[in-house]
């Protein structure tokens, strides 16, 4: 959609998150601070099946939580959080 600040980026056996502004050939770093170069080839289907990097995932969530312009169509985050708590208690 292009409205999010990050995108997923398969690298070194895990799906990391990088800034969405990174273009092919750019050198940047993942949200868990690994240096990466954006390759010319699109990631393969197998690479998209790699496990999500937990550090990138939590960093992304943190960033999404402090977005300066929350969109009116977004549902509130409280529902997801309380259902998480139920799962933990069960």
Pick from 19, 32, 36, 38 the residue near Zn ion by CB under 5 A.
Answer: 32
Give the nearer residue to Zn ion in terms of CB position, either 54 or 84: 54
Nearer to Zn ion, 21 or 70 (CB): 21
Three-state DSSP state, 2: coil
Q: How far apart are CA 38 and CA 47, in angstroms?
A: 14
Whole-number Å distance between alpha carbons of 38 and 15: 13
Binding to Zn ion (CB under 5 A) within 60-89 occurs at none
How many residues are there in the chain? 90
Q: Which is nearer to Zn ion, 21 or 58 (CB)?
A: 58
């Amino acid at each position: 959609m292009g409205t999010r600040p990050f995108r997923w980026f398969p690298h070194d056996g895990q799906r990391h998150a990088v800034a969405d502004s990174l273009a092919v050939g750019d050198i940047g770093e993942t949200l868990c601070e690994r240096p990466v170069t954006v390759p010319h080839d699109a990631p393969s289907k197998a690479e998209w099946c790699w496990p999500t990097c937990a550090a990138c995932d939590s960093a992304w969530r943190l960033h999404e939580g402090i977005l300066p312009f929350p969109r009116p169509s977004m549902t509130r985050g409280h529902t997801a959080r309380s259902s998480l708590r139920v799962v933990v208690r069960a």
